[in-house]
Amino acid sequence: MKLVCRDRVLDLALPAVMGIVNVTPDSFSDGGLHYERQAAIEAAMRMIDAGAVIIDVGGESTRPGAAEVGGQQEIDRVVPVIEALAARADVVLSVDTSKPEVIMVALRAGAHLVNDVRALRMPGSLAAAAAEGAAVCVMHMRGEPATMQSEPRYLDVVAEVRDFVRERADACLGAGIARDSICIDPGIGFGKTHQHNVELLQNLRTFTELGYPLLIGVSRKGLIGIMTGRPPAERVVGSAVVAALAVQAGASIIRAHDVAATVDAVKVAVALRGEVA
């Protein structure tokens, strides 16, 4: 399995760790935009040293209930970070956005992959990604971040999520994106109850059978909190265990905050898979 990301090819025989870099103001560091940028670049460089081969740069909070951010504000946050990383690192640069104008500018600044929690459903987003020859991740989300956790219901969550990502992958193919430049993601925590998340993680083979690399993001999420009783900063071990089990079930990309721990978890899972790493 491989993922072609413009001029970079990710060999996913060894599953890839995608490090999460948020360029969003937070309550801990209120140092302004320049400070946020610098902190994001340094965090990304540390993640690369720890073994991340993809860096996911996001400027919009997709937290349940989060406020929406304007396109220009997102560009001001993510583009300088992407430019700096493109000049300093040879990893795959992913932009975490849904907006066509952000996709366009980020790809021109050197991003290789569009990670869109809305699966390129905003008007113009699919065309922007295709026009620039980007790789894409199509993720399932029920509803919108502001409302998605209010009693989501499914008749068969695994089948419904599978059908959705298959349809979005088909839409990407239809727009001219190459088959080997598409990855899929069930969107753990996005419009799902705990039981839905568990059921999806128990049935990852249903997704790998679609033939696209499977990306899984559980890092520090609520389901790890429910399983361990721990706050976000203490969910490193729980998140790494799920990462290892996801790799065992065939996942090719793990999205994570704690890159060193996740790289170890992936290596252990690969070693026990009995293949050559």
Judge whether 99 counts as a catalytic residue: no
Q: Select the residue whose beta carbon is closest to ligand 7PM and give its number.
A: 217
Q: Does 139 bind ligand 7PM (CB under 6 A)?
A: yes
Whole-number minimum distance, CB 253 to ligand 7PM, in Å? 9
Helices of type H across the chain: 32-49, 71-88, 100-108, 125-131, 157-174, 194-201, 205-208, 222-228, 236-248, 259-273
Count of residues that bind ligand 7PM according to CB under 6 A:
17
Give me the amino acid identity at 123: P
Q: Which of 46, 221, 230, 267 is catalytic?
A: 221
> SS in 3 state form for 76-144?
HHHHHHHHHHHHHCCCEEEEECCCHHHHHHHHHCCCCEEEECCCCCCCCHHHHHHHCCCEEEEECCCCC
Site for ligand 7PM in 213-272 (CB under 6 A): 215, 217, 219, 221, 255
In whole angstroms, how close is the CB of 254 to ligand 7PM at the nearest point? Answer: 10
What residue has token string 């008749």? 155
Q: Which of 169, 185, 196, 247 binds ligand 7PM (CB under 6 A)?
A: 185
Within 54-113, the residues that bind ligand 7PM by CB under 6 A are 62-63, 96
Q: Which is nearer to ligand 7PM, 189 or 213 (CB)?
A: 189
Question: With respect to ligand 7PM, which residue has the nearer C-beta, 115 or 125?
Answer: 115
Residue 246, classed as helix, strand or coil, is: helix
Minimum gap (Å) between residue 68 Cβ and ligand 7PM? 14
CB 133 within 8 A of CB 175: no
| CA–CA dist 189, 200 (Å, integer) | 10
Give the nearest distance from C-beta 21 to ligand 7PM in angstroms. Answer: 10
State whether residue 235 is helix, strand or coil.
coil
Q: Which is nearer to ligand 7PM, 202 or 271 (CB)?
A: 202
71-98 exposure pattern, b = at least 16 Cβ within 10 A, e = fewer: beebbebbbbbbbbbeeebebbbbbbbb
Beta strand pairing call for 2-5 and 8-11: antiparallel
Is 192 assigned a catalytic role?
Answer: no
Q: Which of 19, 100 has the CB closer to ligand 7PM?
A: 19
Selected catalytic residue, list 99, 142, 168, 255: 255
Least CB distance from residue 273 to ligand 7PM, whole Å? Answer: 23
Out of 48, 59, 91, 115, which residue is the one contacting ligand 7PM (CB under 6 A)?
115
Compute the chain's Rg from CA coordinates. 17
- Residue ranges in contact with ligand 7PM by CB under 6 A: 20, 62-63, 96, 115, 117, 137, 139, 185, 187-189, 215, 217, 219, 221, 255
Supply the residues annotated as catalytic.
Answer: 221, 255
